[in-house]
Amino acid sequence: MPTKFDASGKRWVEMEFLVPGTPDQVWQAMATGPGNTAWFTRAEIEERIGGQLTFQFMPGVASGGTVTGWEPPHRFGYVEVGWAENAPPIATEISIVARSGDQCLVRMVHSLFSTTGDWDDQMEGFESGWPGFIEVLRIYLAHHASHNASSFQLTAETKGDALVVWRKLLDGLGHETADVGENWTVEAGETCFGEIVSVRQDAAQRYVLMHIHGEVPGVGLFGIYGAGETIRLSVCRFFYGPKADETAAASEPQWQAWLDGIAKP
């Protein structure tokens, strides 16, 4: 969806989506540090207006800000700084409304004030980047809500034809193709098994989303996307249950080594 703007200089992108769970469960997932860690990225959030928050996206990459709205379990807002080099602060507002069938409607708006469209591509990138994580959120709320969680995001960069890189990533995961409903066993950064619940392949990005079963259940989000003249490979792993922390700590360096190997020409 293109960036919207008004005469005051405000520019914004917005999206709405349904997720399973009660408003309290969705609030816990979206407005707290442990909750964000379960489906998005490692986070620390001081739970009050004026509180500080930090998103640790990957090693060496973080974004910080301040909580501006705190009305549990329905409205959460914050302003981030440092989300892009030399960019103005960006405000995010999240509203949560109960719907029938034990679901909630979530509305998310990212906005900033700018007299030019210099940051429109980056804002629209927010919107295109959310769908995979929203699918992780749905899995978490449907199957693992309130469980202890640990996670990490890892990347590596390469160059070449995106389709060739995508096939190389799939081959590294032990599969030639990816289709929803398939049962996969993966022997890469770790050995795990589960069901493919979502696949995306288009010009912007390609990814496969796997609901992982076993002693330490979780989610694996494996994919590639364009980053200027390079291609960025990505592994996002989410772990749930009593052994989540130790399992994540043990597998993180192994996944990074695997990813670096896939990125080599």
pLDDT at 146 over 60: yes
Residue in 208, 214, 220, 211 with CA at minimum distance from that of residue 241: 214
DSSP label at residue 89: P
* The model's pTM: 0.92
Q: How many residues does the chain have?
A: 265
Can you give the pLDDT at residue 73? 98
In whole angstroms, what separates CA 252 from the centre of its chain?
17
- In the prediction, which pLDDT does 32 show? 98
Nearest one of 228, 48, 206, 211 to 131, comparing CA atoms: 206
Dist. CA 188–CA 210, nearest whole Å: 14
Name the band, by pLDDT with cuts 50, 70 and 90, for residue 12: confident
**The two structure tokens encoding residue 37:** 């860690």
Q: Which domains does the chain have, with CATH numbers?
A: 4-144 (3.30.530.20), 149-263 (3.30.530.20)
Per-residue pLDDT band for 165 (boundaries 50, 70, 90) equals: very high
3-state secondary structure of 163: helix
CA 186 to chain centre: 21
